[in-house]
Amino acid sequence: EPEVTQTPSHQVTQMGQEVILRCVPISNHLYFYWYRQILGQKVEFLVSFYNNEISEKSEIFDDQFSVERPDGSNFTLKIRSTKLEDSAMYFCASSDGQGNSPLHFGNGTRLTVT
Q: Give the footprint of another protein on this chain (CB under 8 A).
A: 4, 33, 35, 41-45, 48, 56, 89, 91, 93, 98-100, 102-108, 110
What DSSP line would sit under 10-76, residue for residue?
EEEE-TT--EEEEEE--TT--EEEEEEE-TTS--EEEEEEETTEEEEE-TT--TTEEEE--SSS-EE
Decide whether 18 or 53 has the Cβ nearer to another protein. 53
**What are the φ/ψ torsions at residue 3 (nearest 5 degrees)?**
-140, 165
Nearer of residues 57 and 69 to another protein, judged by Cβ:
57
How near is the Cβ of 34 to another protein at its closest, in Å?
Answer: 11
Residue 75 vs 91, nearer CB to another protein: 91
